[in-house]
Amino acid sequence: MNSEVLNTLYIQTQGVYLRLEGDTLRIEHEDVTLRNVPLHHLGGLALFGNVLVSPYLLHRCAQDGLEVTWFSESGRFQGRLAGPVSGNVLLRQAQYRALDNPSSSLYLAQRFVEGKLKNARLVLQRAVRERGETEALALALYEHEAALRQLPQARSLDEVRGLEGGAASAYFAAFGDLLLSGEFRFDGRNKRPPRDPVNALLSFVYALLTTQCTAALEGVGLDPQAGFLHALRPGRHALALDLLEEFRAWWADRLALSLLNRKQLAPEHFEVRPGGAVLLNEEGRKAVIVAFQTRRLETVQHPLFKEPVPVGLLPHIQARLLARYLRGDLPQYLPFVGR
């Protein structure tokens, strides 16, 4: 499962060996050459888990300013190759400049919210198609349409956050109607700690996805803490949370719903503590992680690319598009919107 997106080679096959052969990168697995890629084609390497790289290839990457980034097999950021000179400082400078500039901050916050609203609308529309309209679903769809119309006119971050908040509360008011199994109920979002199984599941999937978004931003050299939509707070990965907004409904909520509706999760996967906190137990966490990893490997169509891309690479693609926008290389940032 290796793919090339935006000149970055993503290696996810375990036990692969990468080496330098002239001006070519050779991908080997158990002494068989899988592929040869001319180095001048590449802007970077993203390596997941047990991928070996020859020292000479690493030297060459450092010399040529090719980004090499290591992730765990499940996608957590581990580290990055720092060559003699790197463009990262300019990228981070551009990121902080955009953060200081009210109009570019507003622009990016609008894009993240646009992605969130459009993807949430998809989830709601699908539910209406599949099992009919309920009052809450109709209201939530109406709120999303209204927010999407008003979003381009928003003049401040607070206005953008207000539109997002209004749509989100209508969304969660309707979310219970998306549950098919009578075993679970949903009466609104709560967290820290979650107080019912559905909220426990949502918190866990959001946490998994947040690490993916953080890793993707780290991977392209962006500061995951310097976000535009989310307020800056020490230790908070505000930009990762910004990026997460594009994927919450389309990836996390749909995954949670299908686990519940297909009865892959049952009440015995949850632990209810005295006082009312609810957590996934070990079996439950295992089931969610397996489903999450499976989803990462499925491919989908990205609106900007002809080739289907693995779902797990979507945050990486969005991070790279964001970096390109911030460096002035792209005139727009396009949030990911599924189908």
Partner 1 sequence: MDELDDIFPEIVPAPSQPQEPLPLSALAQYTYCPRRAALILLEGEWEDNEFTLRGTRAHENVDIPQGLLREGVWVERALPLWSERLGLTGRADVVEFVEGVPYPVEYKVSKRWPRELARKAAEVQLCAQALCLEEMFGQSVMEGALFSKSSQRRRVVQFTPELRAATLATISALRKLLQQERLPPPAADERCKHCSLLGVCMPEVPQALRAWRNQQWS
- Residue 192 as a binder of partner 1 (CB under 8 A): the answer is yes
* Residue 13 Ramachandran class (φ > 0 left, ψ -120 to 50 alpha, else beta): beta
145 is in an annotated binding site: no
Nearer to partner 1 by Cβ, of 11 and 209: the residue is: 209
Nearer to partner 1 by Cβ, of 203 and 318: the residue is: 203
143 is in an annotated binding site: no
Smallest gap from Cβ 5 to partner 1, in A, equals 28
The single-letter code of the amino acid at 287 is A
Smallest gap from Cβ 291 to partner 1, in A, equals 17
Quote the DSSP letter at residue 311: G
- Residue 204 as a binder of partner 1 (CB under 8 A): the answer is yes
d(CA 330, CA 60): 28
Please select the residue that binds partner 1; options are 76, 285, 295, 327, rule is CB under 8 A: 285
* Residue 25 Ramachandran class (φ > 0 left, ψ -120 to 50 alpha, else beta): beta
CB 289 within 8 A of CB 208: yes
Please select the residue that binds partner 1; options are 41, 149, 191, 286, rule is CB under 8 A: 191
- Residue 157 as a binder of partner 1 (CB under 8 A): the answer is no
Nearer to partner 1 by Cβ, of 94 and 244: the residue is: 244
245 is in an annotated binding site: yes
Which region, judged by CB under 8 A, interacts with partner 1, from 39-47, 106-114, 206-214, 258-266?
A: 206-214
Question: What are the two backbone dihedrals, phi and then psi, of residue 307, each rounded to the nearest 5 degrees?
Answer: -80, 145
238-277 footprint of partner 1 as x/- string (CB under 8 A): -----------------------------------xxxxx
Query: In 155-265, which residue ranges form alpha helices assigned H by DSSP?
Result: 157-175, 197-220, 238-247, 254-261
Interface residues for partner 1 in 23-52 (CB under 8 A)? none
Smallest gap from Cβ 32 to partner 1, in A, equals 40
- In the chain, count H helices and then E strands: 10, 13
Which residues are registered as beta bridge partners of 2?
A: 11
- Residue 129 as a binder of partner 1 (CB under 8 A): the answer is no
d(CA 146, CA 155): 16
CB 40 within 8 A of CB 23: yes
Nearer to partner 1 by Cβ, of 141 and 240: the residue is: 240
CA distances from 158 to 104, 107, 111, 164, 320 (A): 14, 13, 14, 10, 27
Instruction: Return binding residues.
Output: 164, 230, 245
Footprint of partner 1 on this chain (CB under 8 A)? Answer: 191-193, 203-204, 206-207, 210, 233-237, 273-277, 279-280, 285
Instruction: Return binding residues for Mn(2+).
Output: 164, 230, 245
